[in-house]
Amino acid sequence: MSFAVCFCQGPLETFDHLFFDCPVTRRLWERLLIWMGIQRQIGDWSTELNWVNVMAKSKQGKSAIVSCGFGMLVVVIWRERNQLRFQSGSFQADNICRENSILSSYQRERTVQMGKSIA
């Protein structure tokens, strides 16, 4: 089995490279931030996890969508990585972004509806 990065064919797949340093996955994160209307630089795993934790605890309306978008993109990157590595799948960044925005929007609507039913 090759230890090369599935998305960019870099020499060694590490956790930080796969999720945040790889130019392909970094672009996915950048597109997610643009979609959410957030301007910031992408950091390493620790930086991003701290940021999303702060956002999740905030009272901003974006908190649920940020948490949801972050979690979903982590899952989707891992899923796509496994499909590329083990099932010779193909990768389409536009499809990933579309899927993540649809799922995040759905989760946001569920959160809003849940908030209305509690109030």
- What Å distances lie between residue 33 and 5, 9, 100, CA to CA? 23, 25, 12
pLDDT score of 119 = 43
pLDDT of residue 83: 85
Span of 11-15, 34-38, 67-71, 115-119 with lowest mean pLDDT: 115-119
What is the phi/psi pair of residue 89, to 5°? -75, 180
Does this model's pTM top 0.85? My answer is: no
Domain ranges of the chain: 15-118
- CB-side exposure of 95: number of CA atoms within 13 Å? 6
Residue 118 reports pLDDT greater than 50? no
